Amino acid sequence: MPKMKTNQAIAKRYKVKKSGKIQKKAAGQGHFNAREDGKTGRQKRGGVVVSQTLRKVMAAAMVK
Options 1.25.40.10, 3.40.190.170, 4.10.410.60, 3.30.870.10; which CATH number does 8-61 get? 4.10.410.60
Domain residue extents for the chain:
8-61
Question: What is residue 46's predicted lDDT score, i.e. its pLDDT?
Answer: 86
31 pLDDT band (50/70/90 cuts)? Answer: very high
7 pLDDT band (50/70/90 cuts)? Answer: confident
Compute CA distances 41 → 13, 29, 38, 53, 59, whole Å.
20, 8, 5, 27, 29
